[in-house]
Amino acid sequence: MVDLYPVGQIFDNHVYPGVLHNAFMDVGIPSFTPKIGAARVLDLEMISLFVEGTMNVLKHHGIVSGPMGRTGKDVRVFVGNSAFPILATVGGIVEHLVKLNDKVEAGQKVAVQRNSLGEVVAEYTSGVAGEITGQRSDAMSEPGNPLVFILFNRPTPSGVETYPE
C-alpha cells in the first residue's frame, strides 16, 4: 500500500512498541504511519504527495475512479529497514554537512559541532551507507541529543529497535 505513495523514503520496520499500526500489522491488517515532512514544519509540497498517494490507494481499491497518480516507482524511493542515530557527544552549535534525503557513505562526515568561540569540539561521521532520514533542526545541541538519523538496510534485522527522541 505504501508503494502507491510518491515519496522518497520508506522506513520498513516494526518500530516503537505499542503504536497502533504495529497492533494492526500483528493481526494481519496492512497499515503504515505516514510522516509528512520535518517535525513542527508545515510542508505543503509534502502534504500534496500524501494526498496523491491516498487517492492512489482509493483508486487501487476501486473506491474512486480515475487514473493513478505517481507512485513510489515514479520517484526514486529508498526503502530501508533500520535507522542509524548519530548522537551529540558534547554541547554546542551544530553545523550539518548534509541535508534530508542526501545519500551518505559509511565514514562520511555529516556534522560538525562548535563551542561559543567557534572552535570545533566534535565531528560526526556516518557508521552506515544510506540516506539522511531525520535531522536536528535546532542550532544548539546538548550531549545525547540526536543530530541525524540515517535510513539504511540492516542485513539481518532482529527484534524491536528503539530510537532516541
User: pLDDT for 77-124, tens place per residue?
Assistant: 899 988 999 999 999 999 999 998 999 999 999 999 999 999 999 999
- Give bridge partners of residue 77 from the DSSP assignment: none
The structure's pTM equals 0.82
Amino acid at 3: D
Cα 26-39-135 angle, rounded to 5 deg: 95
Cα separation, 145 vs 101, in Å, equals 20
Q: Are 113 and 87 in contact (CB under 8 A)?
A: no
Write out the H or E segment, with its range, that includes residue 52: helix 44-60
The owner of cell 535546532 is 138
pLDDT-derived band of residue 35, with 50, 70 and 90 as boundaries? Answer: confident
Residue 36 CA to chain centroid, in angstroms?
10
pLDDT above 70: residue 165: no
**CATH class of the domain defined by 81-152:** mainly beta
The helix/strand/coil state of 78 is strand
Pairing of strands 9-11, 78-80: parallel
What integer pLDDT is reported at residue 137 of this predicted model?
85
Q: Where are the domains of the chain?
A: 2-77, 81-152
